Structure 1
Amino acid sequence: MEGWAFSARALWSLVHGVVLGGIFLIAAVAGLLGIYSYGLRDGWRTDSELQPHLRRLSAGTWITALVVWLMTISGTFILYPWYRDPTWAGMPRYLVSRTYLLTQEELAVWHVYGMAWKEHMGWLAAILATVAAAITVQYGPQLGEDDFLRQITLAIFGISFLAAGIAGLLGSLLTKLMPLL
């Protein structure tokens, strides 16, 4: 089909943002709900009924952590170098994403703040998601009994979700503004 050809850059952007980002959103929301609902244990479930929930919760938090790591690594080491490359495909320097944004006074804020958030908060989101997954595996049965531990885990996972969500939103806005063709 004519018109459906993707460049390698566009394909990687699609995998990074849509595929991995979509999986992350679903897994993270499921993880947040799983951690939150695990505290609803007070006598209405037996330990044998909680074990499958705990297994799903552990798997879900680790899947979320893995996906956010894949997003962070692909963004940092595949997409970001293309964004900064001034010699890409023989294009004039002013048409390259980073350079173009910095040369336009009204668009420079997108690079200065948008990319700074993505560069740093993506890593923080991956680290925090891993911490929440490790807590879920290490202290799983206690999450149902210890409200403070569950709230801390929920907060860590929630901050990870929020940081990655804002990075994803900024990424989609930056891609709309200056796509990696």
Structure 2
Amino acid sequence: MELTSREWWGLIHGMVLGALFLLGFAGGLAELHALRPAAETTAGIRTSARRLRLGVSSMAVAAWGTVITGTWIVYPWYREKNPASPRSVLLADPNTERWHTFGMEWKEHLAWLSPMLATTAAFLVLYYGAGLARNDRLRRVAMGLFITAFATAAVAGTFGALITKVAPVQ
């Protein structure tokens, strides 16, 4: 089995960067949730803060990589001006027309919120570090930003997978 260059870029965009995003989210959320002063010693909080910085930073970087490769590499192939393009295939069938009008609009516009929110959460973690263990409100704000970034990306990823199933970029 051979993959075309377009299929490779689709794989990198969706599976490689998406998997890194998921791993960063899982690790970052677990560390944010566990970061409390009563739960650990000062040395333990510092170790947890290091893992937390790694998790949220990797999620933010993976989110930016995903939207950049999607917007400027994969998406132009989706919108090509020929009858065999994925966009044309979706719009030609009344049953899949909404996949384009709603699903791709989400992917084109709202998916960009994910790296912005992830970067904001990463900034809070990098700036405050272990201090988040003592500031419960700020830790919850960082968690909320982090979870919202993941939810936004999860919707975009789901739409991407479903659209690719019906009309793959080839």
Same fold (TM over 0.5): yes
Q: Structure 2: any 5+ residue segments left out of the alignment? A: none
Aligned counterparts of 1:61 and 1:45: Cα–Cα separation in 2: 20
Partner of 2:16: 19
**Larger deviation, residues 65-74 vs 51-60:** 51-60
Which residues in structure 2 correspond to 1:1-181 (within 5 Å)? Answer: 4-39=1-36, 41-42=37-38, 44-86=39-81, 93-181=82-170
Cα drift, residue 62 of structure 1: 0.6
User: C-alpha offsets along residues 122-145 of structure 1, whole Å, 9 cap, x if unaligned?
Assistant: 210000000000000111222101
Is contact 2:60–2:122 with CA below 8 Å preserved after alignment? yes
| Pairs aligned (count) | 170
The gaps in structure 1 that reach 5 residues or longer are 87-92
Rounded to whole Å, the distance in 2 between the matches of 1:84 and 1:114 is 14
Deviation at 1:146, TM superposition (A): 1.3
RMSD over aligned Cα, in angstroms?
1.0
| Letter matched to residue 54 of structure 1 | A
Q: Give the Cα–Cα distance (whole angstroms) in 2 for the partners of residues 19 and 141 of structure 1.
A: 30
Q: Deviations over 1:131-164 (max 9, x none)?
A: 0000001112221011111111100000000111
Alpha-carbon separation, structure 2, partners of 1:137 and 1:106:
46
Where do 4+ consecutive residues of structure 1 move more than 6 Å? none
Identity of aligned residues (%): 36
Q: Give 1:65's aligned amino acid.
A: A
Question: Shift in Å at residue 106 of structure 1?
Answer: 1.5
**Which structure has the larger Rg?**
1
Q: Contact conserved, 2:20 with 2:58, CA < 8 A, in 1?
A: no
> Which string of whole-angstrom CA distances, capped at 9 and with x for unpartnered residues, describes residues 53-97 of structure 1?
1111112111110001000000000000000011xxxxxx22111
> Which letter maps to 1:98?
R
